[in-house]
Amino acid sequence: MAYHVFLAYIDPWINWDWLSTHIPLVVAALEQHLELTAIAVGGGLAISLPLALIAHRRPRFRLPLLTTAGIFYTIPSIALFALLIPYTGLTGTTAEIPLIGYNVLILVRNILVGLDAVPPEVRDAADGMGYRPTARLLRIELPLALPSIFAGLRVATVSTIGIITITAVIGLGGLGQLIYKGLIENFHTPLVVATVLSVVLAFVADIGLAGAQRIAVPWARAESR
Amino acid sequence: MSILTDVWRWFANLDHWSGSDGIPVRLQEHLHLSIESVLIGALIALPIGIALGHFGRFGNLAINISNVGRALPSFAILVIAFQIFGLGDLPIVIALVALAIPPMVTNTYVAMREVDPDVRDAARGMGYRQLAQLLRIELPLAVPLIMAGIRLSAVQVVATATLGALIAGGGFGRYIIDGLAQQDYTKLVAGALLVAALAFSTEISLSMLERILVPRGIRLLKQGASAGQGNPSHARSI
């Protein structure tokens, strides 16, 4: 009898009963996680693309841009969230500004590396074929930079998925909410479920982007054969 | 603007510079946790990375360690360690060590792999034995990238040590977590500035250490050839 009472107080790592009755909670957390990730990566790409193109055209913007982004990147996310709270409160804006900023650095750097790696002969050939600079950039150089851009997108997405869990301390968090719940209620199940789901999510996103890259860069496949 | 003035007054208040919740004590706690974790992490990660890189086997393992490490949220590691080991510094240090290891393993592995094969051959031709070749030829050449990995880990550890306050740890994170709980935005912002400053100084001081530790010959080599940016895993997970 005493043994059973004792057992009841040991929290198993997964309590399937709790899980089966709380599926909507888990799904909602997952949805929020996906939404926050999509905004952070999409916003980062939308901002970094024009910035990188400008820095590519005008090399004197390059160093200031990379230095500013590099300094921003050194600041821990939790510190940035805390700095923003007095101004933007416990909102999605507070969560997204640092995340978008981090992704801008990763992506600007990778886009520039990709554009720099375009062989000069290719550029000359495009010029010789009568491409104007803008058309050459959009139709020749940018497609050739795609592998590097995709590499940046994969790193940005996977690290965003991890950092979002921390936004639980400002009332968001996606799956981080469940981790936080596990912490304050001393209850293992949501913690384990959220950890497993966020690792799975990161891998699925990574594999998905790798697949998208294969479709977007068909010539790379032909070369590797 | 008023928040900034409040924060300025908070820093000017001498009460915040003494006692168990004072800045010096919190700084000491934060540094203690971080240094301990980075050192333990380096003791585990560097030998693994050096061995994998030197023998050139299990390269996928080194890369996968880093990928898994990036995908595992440090917040989750911290809370899981807390659930297993309970209150105290131990779960924080364990979580921070787990966080510190992947970038160091990957960077060290890549650093050892990037040693020019001709240089290895030359060393062998000159009669260097395995161990001497490793210690006197490959390792010095690998120092720049290895140090980059240590710096990357250290900055992340300093950042994540902040979260230790969530499981009742010390350090600057206390100001942020307590500031949030008490809705004391002055304390919150002051804590954020302290954490940011500490992360930034970590980055700067380790870059300086890196410059000192890189052998002079390699520095000259780098200048001459303007070697490309070999920074394989510059991604944050916090």
Q: Is residue A121 part of a domain?
A: yes
| Residue A86 to residue B193, Cβ atoms within 8 A | no
Find where tokens 């890196």 sit. Answer: B210
Q: Is residue B238 part of a domain?
A: no
Q: Is residue A143 part of a domain?
A: yes
In chain B, which residue's Cα lies nearest the Cα of A186? B83
Provide the whole-model pTM: 0.86
| End-to-end CA, chain B | 29
| Residue A179 to residue B177, Cβ atoms within 8 A | no
CATH number, position B39 = 1.10.3720.10
Non-local (6+) Cβ contacts of B77 within 8 A are B95, B98, B99
* Mean pLDDT, residues A19-34 taken together: 92
Q: Is residue A201 part of a domain?
A: yes
- Chain A positions touching B67 (Cβ under 8 A) are 158, 206
What one-letter code names the amino acid at A104?
A: V
Quote the number of domains for chain A.
Answer: 1
Non-local (6+) Cβ contacts of B54 within 8 A are B112, B134, B138
Which range of residues forms the domain containing residue B170?
2-225
Q: Which two tokens stand for residue A83?
A: 């700095």
Per-residue pLDDT band at B225 (split at 50, 70, 90): very low
Q: Mean pLDDT in chain A?
A: 89
- Chain B positions touching A192 (Cβ under 8 A) are 80
Q: Is residue B36 part of a domain?
A: yes
| End-to-end CA, chain A | 67
Which range of residues forms the domain containing residue A208?
28-215
Is the Cβ–Cβ distance between A33 and A201 less than 8 Å? yes
Distance from CA of A146 to the nearest CA of B (A): 18
CATH number, position A171 = 1.10.3720.10
Q: Is residue A169 part of a domain?
A: yes
Instruction: Write out pLDDT tens, residues B82-116.
Output: 988 888 899 999 999 998 998 899 899 989 988 88
- What does the alpha-carbon distance between residue B139 and residue B156 come to, in Å, rounded to a whole number? 24
Non-local (6+) Cβ contacts of B227 within 8 A are B221
Instruction: Write out pLDDT tens, residues B44-57.
Output: 999 999 998 888 87
| Residue A163 to residue B238, Cβ atoms within 8 A | yes
Q: Is residue B112 part of a domain?
A: yes
Q: Is residue B61 part of a domain?
A: yes
CB B231: neighbour CB atoms within 10 A? Answer: 14
| Residue B75 to residue A80, Cβ atoms within 8 A | no
Q: Is residue A23 part of a domain?
A: no
Q: Is residue A210 part of a domain?
A: yes
Q: Is residue B215 part of a domain?
A: yes
Is the Cβ–Cβ distance between B35 and B218 less than 8 Å? no
Q: Is residue B234 part of a domain?
A: no
Q: Is residue B62 part of a domain?
A: yes
Per-residue confidence (pLDDT) for residue B57, from 0 to 100: 77
For residue A5, pLDDT beyond 50: no
| Residue A83 to residue B193, Cβ atoms within 8 A | yes
Task: Give DSSP secondary structure letters for A174-224.
Answer: THHHHHHHHHHTT-HHHHHHHHHHHHHHHHHHHHHHHHHHHHH-HHHHHHH
Instruction: Write out pLDDT tens, residues A50-65.
Output: 999 999 989 899 999 9
Q: Is residue A55 part of a domain?
A: yes
Quote the number of domains for chain B.
Answer: 1
